[in-house]
Each structure stands twice: as structure tokens, then as C-alpha cells.
Amino acid sequence: HHSLLIKERWKASAEQIAIAYNNIGIVYEKVEDYNWAIRYHTLALRIRDSLQLLPGLSSSYMNLAVAYDRAGQKSEAKPYYY
């Protein structure tokens, strides 16, 4: 799993891994590869949710909503906007 590799190699915390996944998701959004953006934003969301990292959690929800919206998946985006 990617997070285990990152954690072992760079001694990153779970919060730092979530930030990295979030940033990777943003990069995929910039190149309009929304499926990969959604995957990475979902990974960030799972970590942030499990740790209850509230500021990051709200960003993850918004990032997922935007990625789904841009992918044309409006029904998938809607729950993340609220």
C-alpha cells in the first residue's frame, strides 16, 4: 500500500500522508484526470476521517465534491458538498 511505503521511507505521520494524497489529487485535477483525483482525495479523506482531522476533513470533502462535479458525476458530488 502506498501509505505504508511513504511512512516507512520518509517516516511520515498519517496526517502528512493525508496531505500528500490531497496534493496528488489536486495535481490530477489540474491535468483533468478526475478518476485518479477522486482516488487520491478518497485516500486523504479516509485517513483524515479516521483521525478526526477536522480542518483537513472539510478540505477533503470539498475536494471530492469538486472532482466528482468536474468528472460530470453530479449525483456523486452532491453528498460531499453538504
Using one digit for the tens of pLDDT, what is the confidence trace for 3-58? Answer: 555 555 656 788 888 999 999 999 999 999 999 999 999 999 999 999 988 889 99
For residue 18, give the C-alpha cell: 493525508
Task: Quote helix, strand, coil % in the chain, to nearest 5.
Answer: 85, 0, 15
CA distance 11 to 21: 15
CA nearest to 18, candidates 54, 55, 45, 50: 45
> Which pTM does this prediction carry?
0.83
Least confident span in 7-11, 37-41, 62-66, 67-71 = 7-11
CA distance 5 to 21: 13
Answer with the residue of higher pLDDT: 65 or 54.
65
